[in-house]
C-alpha cells in the first residue's frame, strides 16, 4: 500500500513539475512537439503507403490486362505460324491415316479373284524403295501378270492420305463388271515415299523424284504400251508435274485428274478463310511454303489430252479450283470436263458415268 501511494505521488510530482517548467521554457516543449510531429509523419506515411499500394495494384492490373489482351493472342498467333511452317509436311502428307495405314501388309485375300495382282518395288535415285502393285483382269485362270504391248497402262497417283490397298475398290470398278469396265487395262499403283510400305519421308521434291522413278520403271516393263496418268487430289499434282516434263509429255497418251487443287497456297486460303487467322497471310511470304504444288502454273505446260473429273459437292477442294485448271490448260491437245453433281471428294468412282468417262477418254486418245 505504501509503495502504491509513493508511485502515485512520484507520478503527479513529475507531471506537475514538467507542466510548470514547460510554461517558462520552450526547450521543455520539444518532447511534446517531437511527439506531435512524429504522429503527424506517421499518419502521412500511412496515407502515402496506402496510396503507393493502390498505385502498385493499379499498375499491376494494367500490365496484366495488357498481357492478356495482346500477349496471349500474339503468342497463339506466333505458335500457329510456327506450326504451319515447321510441320507443313505432316499437315499435307498423311500416310498414317487410317492409323494402321503404314503397317497394313499386302494380303492376296483382299484382291478380287477375277483380278491378277503382282507386288512390285521401285527404287528412286536417292535410294528410296517404293512399294506398289500391278493389277489387271484375270484371263483364263492366269495367276501372274502377262504383259501385252497393245494394252493401255495407267499409272495411278493417290491422294494425300491412306495407302494403295485402300484404292482396291476403285481399281475393281475400273476393271470388273457389272459396270462398263474398261476392256483391257493395266493399273500400276505405286505408293509415294513414306506411304504404305515405302521408305523415306514425303515432300514435294521427294514425290517429284518418285514420279520420275515410277515412270521409268513402268516404261521398262511396258516399253511399247499406250501410257496414261491418273491422279486424284494430291495425285493430280504429281501427275501434272510428270506430264509437264519435256522428255515425258510426248510419251503420254493422256492424263486424268480428279478433284485436284490449283496450289497449296490456294488450299490454305480455302481451308482457313478467316481474316483473323494468320495462315492466308503467312503463305504469301516466299520463304514459308516449301511445298507449293503450283498446279495452276504447271498445267499450262501440259500438251497431252486431259480428262477433268470434278465433284460438285467436293467438301475439301472447291470445284472452282478445278474449273480454273480447266481454263488454264490452253496447250492441251484435248480437254474434257465431266461433272458429278452428287459426288464428294473421295467417292466419285461410285457414281454413274465415272467408268464410262474414263473408258471413252482412253478409246478416243489410244
- pLDDT the model gives residue 280: 86
Q: Could you give the CA distance from residue 40 to residue 43 in angstroms, rounded to a whole number?
A: 5
Q: Could you give the CA distance from residue 58 to residue 329 in angstroms, rounded to a whole number?
A: 65
Q: For residue 61, what pLDDT band results from cuts at 50, 70 and 90?
A: confident
Sign of the Cα torsion 140, 146, 147, 149 reads: negative
Q: Tens of pLDDT along 197-227?
A: 999 999 999 999 999 999 999 999 999 999 9
Q: For residue 100, what pLDDT band results from cuts at 50, 70 and 90?
A: confident
Triad 214, 216, 222: Cα angle to 5°: 100
Q: Which residue has the higher pLDDT, 274 or 147?
A: 274
Q: Which residue has the higher pLDDT, 103 or 344?
A: 344
Mean pLDDT of the chain: 85
Q: Which residue has the higher pLDDT, 103 or 117?
A: 117
Q: Tens of pLDDT along 236-284?
A: 999 999 999 999 999 999 999 999 999 999 999 999 898 888 888 888 8
- pLDDT the model gives residue 60: 57
Residue 50's alpha-carbon distances to 40, 44, 298, 327, 350, in angstroms, are 15, 10, 72, 74, 78
pTM of the model: 0.80
Q: Which residues, at least 6 apart from 296, have a Cβ–Cβ distance to it below 8 Å? A: 262, 263, 266, 324, 325, 328
Q: Which residue has the higher pLDDT, 23 or 105?
A: 105
Q: For residue 67, what pLDDT band results from cuts at 50, 70 and 90?
A: confident
Q: Residue 58 above 60 pLDDT?
A: no
Of 7-16, 151-160, 161-170, least confident by mean pLDDT is 7-16
Superfamily for domain range 108-364? Alpha/Beta hydrolase fold, catalytic domain (3.40.50.1820)
At residue 304, φ and ψ (nearest 5 deg) are -70, 155
- pLDDT the model gives residue 35: 55
| Angle between helix 264-271 and helix 319-328 axes, rounded to 10 deg | 160
Q: For residue 350, what pLDDT band results from cuts at 50, 70 and 90?
A: very high
Domain edges within the chain: 108-364
Of 29-38, 122-131, 336-345, least confident by mean pLDDT is 29-38
Q: Which residue has the higher pLDDT, 228 or 65?
A: 228
Q: Which residues, at least 6 apart from 60, have a Cβ–Cβ distance to it below 8 Å? A: none
Q: Residue 173 above 90 pLDDT?
A: yes
Q: Which residue has the higher pLDDT, 58 or 271?
A: 271
Q: Which residue has the higher pLDDT, 195 or 72?
A: 195
Q: Which residue has the higher pLDDT, 91 or 25?
A: 91
Amino acid at each position: 500500500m505504501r509503495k502504491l501511494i509513493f508511485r502515485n505521488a512520484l507520478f503527479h510530482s513529475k507531471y506537475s513539475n514538467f507542466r510548470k517548467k514547460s510554461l517558462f521554457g520552450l526547450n521543455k516543449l520539444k518532447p511534446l512537439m517531437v511527439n506531435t510531429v512524429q504522429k503527424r509523419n506517421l499518419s502521412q506515411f500511412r496515407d502515402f503507403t496506402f496510396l503507393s499500394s493502390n498505385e502498385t495494384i493499379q499498375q499491376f492490373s494494367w500490365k496484366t490486362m495488357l498481357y492478356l489482351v495482346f500477349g496471349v493472342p500474339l503468342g497463339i498467333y506466333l505458335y500457329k505460324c510456327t506450326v504451319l511452317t515447321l510441320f507443313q509436311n505432316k499437315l499435307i502428307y498423311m500416310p498414317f491415316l487410317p492409323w494402321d495405314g503404314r503397317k497394313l501388309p499386302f494380303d492376296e485375300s483382299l484382291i478380287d479373284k477375277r483380278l491378277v495382282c503382282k507386288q512390285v518395288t521401285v527404287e528412286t535415285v536417292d535410294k528410296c524403295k517404293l512399294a506398289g502393285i500391278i493389277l489387271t483382269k484375270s484371263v483364263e485362270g492366269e495367276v501372274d501378270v502377262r504383259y501385252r504391248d497393245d494394252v493401255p497402262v495407267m499409272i495411278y497417283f493417290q491422294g494425300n492420305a491412306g495407302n494403295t490397298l485402300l484404292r482396291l475398290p476403285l481399281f475393281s470398278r475400273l476393271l470388273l463388271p457389272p459396270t462398263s469396265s474398261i476392256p483391257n487395262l493395266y493399273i500400276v499403283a505405286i505408293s509415294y515415299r513414306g506411304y504404305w510400305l515405302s521408305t523415306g519421308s514425303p515432300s514435294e521434291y521427294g514425290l517429284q523424284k518418285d514420279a520420275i522413278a515410277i515412270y521409268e520403271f513402268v516404261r521398262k516393263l511396258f516399253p511399247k504400251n499406250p501410257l496414261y496418268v491418273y491422279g486424284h487430289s494430291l495425285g493430280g499434282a504429281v501427275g501434272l508435274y510428270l506430264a509437264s516434263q519435256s522428255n515425258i509429255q510426248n510419251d503420254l497418251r493422256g492424263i486424268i485428274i480428279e478433284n485436284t487443287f490449283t496450289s497449296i497456297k490456294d488450299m490454305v486460303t480455302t481451308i482457313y478463310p478467316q481474316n483473323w487467322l494468320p495462315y492466308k497471310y503467312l503463305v504469301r511470304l516466299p520463304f514459308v511454303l516449301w511445298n507449293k504444288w503450283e498446279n495452276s502454273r504447271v498445267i499450262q505446260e501440259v500438251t497431252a489430252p486431259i480428262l477433268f473429273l470434278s465433284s460438285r459437292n467436293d467438301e475439301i477442294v472447291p470445284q472452282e479450283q478445278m474449273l480454273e485448271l480447266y481454263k488454264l490448260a490452253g496447250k492441251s491437245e484435248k480437254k474434257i470436263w465431266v461433272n458429278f453433281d452428287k459426288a464428294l471428294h473421295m467417292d466419285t468412282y461410285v457414281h454413274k458415268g465415272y467408268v464410262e468417262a474414263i473408258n471413252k477418254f482412253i478409246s478416243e486418245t489410244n
